[in-house]
Chains A and B, each alone.
Chain A
């Protein structure tokens, strides 16, 4: 059993990345994720790694592309406006089938927005963010422990499926301190025969590229990628359920919203309402099947978000609109309180004829 240490979420990401073999970090300062860069700046030189502060988010993500193309584990981190700048590079990474971990410690938007926690980059993350047909695997941690754990899993998934993975956190997750146990990656090392290491005059040259001016070829590249996405949807969907079996009202939330929701569910149960919580851990692939199953017994769903209502669309799609879904949200850096979520649960219970 590894020792438990008290860490900030952002630092847990950095240390977890190092623990699973990431020795290259490229980034650019932006609140509220800068601790990742600061931690890397301190640690990397001492372990023979590379920390490089790029001239922009755009340059940073392209350095990630270069290092990933060279076959090594590499990451970058940023916050909302910075992720918008990285989106061009992320699209290229998807198009070139390059693995990497991209961390978004979200803040309020749009525009320069604020520096307080938010979940309003949900659409951007789960729909790709940049141009073209592609997905990222999107992991949503709800504790400092998960910040570390999902960082390691993120690298493993990226290598396994040869694609970029996003860790979608928020300012609360990045800044909060909790005890964390750092685990090393147990995944098998993935061979990368496609990597650009020089031919050594022993093999034909490797090309990492997203361009094809031949329509049927480009179509087949996209088709191959979506076959991989289908495997991921089947094999890698993750979620947590809490008191859902007999629940009339199911609150759906990820990250910090799920923690608030869990408190509210406990309070609702104490008040005699059969409430439960469903927490997607992978936002893409969204746990559609598992949530749809709950629509057979639950009467109403509530989407708790730090956005104006983005995940709610996936909730509605997942349950195929078979049950009403309402939204409980705060934005701009505000976080819904357990009391606010409880009020939403009570309102739903009143509508469905349960106790209130």
Chain B
């Protein structure tokens, strides 16, 4: 029998702690596939953040450091400045990147730090049990917005790609999604391109992946994908928000 698909080498063969249907599984795989296809596993260093993906250090077959909540881009900066030939990426959720770590996100982007940021936006704090995130949609019900996110009292969601696109520093910003096969393939291309840019010393890239949280959204995985498509994608339009080197391609 011929093997037509296998686990990427950059993913370790261990059971994960993620909930059934969680988007992290797909996104971990896409990151690992990018690392495999570029042949950079041996020189890659990953930075795990705080949130559901805190245990990413157990899953990626590369050297890993676990950063304090929101500080992953600063930690990645230190790793990269120490050994610029290493390929350094962070893997962060929305609470980590767009709330407590906003300063680190904005300034690593503004510096054009030559790192790759994988930003998983599922509009909720997963690890702590489903609280309102900086990217929770207006009206979205969560544990800490039980009557729906009221923009008059707690303000509006943060659109990270749109915000960072105003800066001169970043090389490449794209928002992708994993709600269907077509979008997963586009996400795969974007993640690979972000890592490629880093190997070419082009500077900061961030890929925002619109994902799902079936458990804390209180939906089946299938329904969660549909909810993301119908509610998140209109608010967070997919596409390239910045590509300094687009004309070269």
**Residues in A lying within 8 Å of B, measured CB to CB:** 24, 26, 50, 52, 54-56, 58-60, 62-72, 74, 88-89, 92, 96, 196-202, 205-211
Contact = CB atoms under 8 A, between A and B. Distances in A.
A58 B79 contact: no
B54 interface: yes
Interface string B38-75: 00011111011000001001101111111110010011
B104 interface: yes
Nearest to A51: B81
Contacts of B63: 196-199, 205-207
B64 A196 contact: yes
Contact of A59 (B12, B66, B103): B103
Most A Cβ at <10 Å: residue of B62, B81, B82: B82
14 contacts: A59-B71, A66-B76, A66-B78, A66-B80, A67-B81, A74-B82, A88-B68, A196-B45, A196-B86, A198-B44, A205-B12, A205-B62, A207-B65, A211-B66
A54 B75 CA distance: 12
B77 interface: yes
Given A56-B103, A196-B45, A205 B64 contact: yes
B83 A70 contact: yes
A55 B54 CA distance: 24
Residue among B47, B61, B68, B104 with the highest chain A CB neighbour number at 10 A: B68
Interface string B214-239: 00000000000000000000000000
B45 A198 contact: yes
B83 A52 contact: no
A196 B103 contact: no
A71 B82 CA distance: 8
B74 A58 contact: yes
A150 B106 CA distance: 36
A205 B61 contact: yes
A199 B77 contact: no
B31 to A, nearest CB: 14
Please indicate which of the listed interface residues A24, A88, A199, A205 has the most CB atoms of chain B within 10 Å of its own CB.
A205
Given A66-B75, A197-B86, A210 B66 contact: yes
B193 interface: no
Contacts of B28: none
Contacts of B60: 205
A198 B45 CA distance: 6
B107 interface: yes
7 A-B pairs with least C-beta separation? A66-B78, A62-B74, A70-B82, A67-B78, A55-B107, A63-B78, A196-B63
Nearest to B75: A66
A211 to B, nearest CB: 6
A54 B74 contact: yes
Contact of A209 (B57, B77, B79, B103): B57
Which residue, of A56, A68, A197, A202, has the highest number of chain B Cβ atoms within 10 A? A197
Contacts of A88: 68
A208 B78 CA distance: 14
Contacts of B61: 199, 205
A58 B57 contact: no
Contacts of B12: 205
Given A52-B81, A202-B42, A63 B57 contact: no
Among B60, B66, B75, B107, chain A packs the most CB atoms within 10 A around the CB of B75
B66 A70 contact: no
A58 B86 contact: no
Contacts of A201: 41-42
Contacts of B82: 24, 66-67, 70-72, 74
A70 B79 contact: yes
A208 B44 contact: no
Nearest to A55: B107
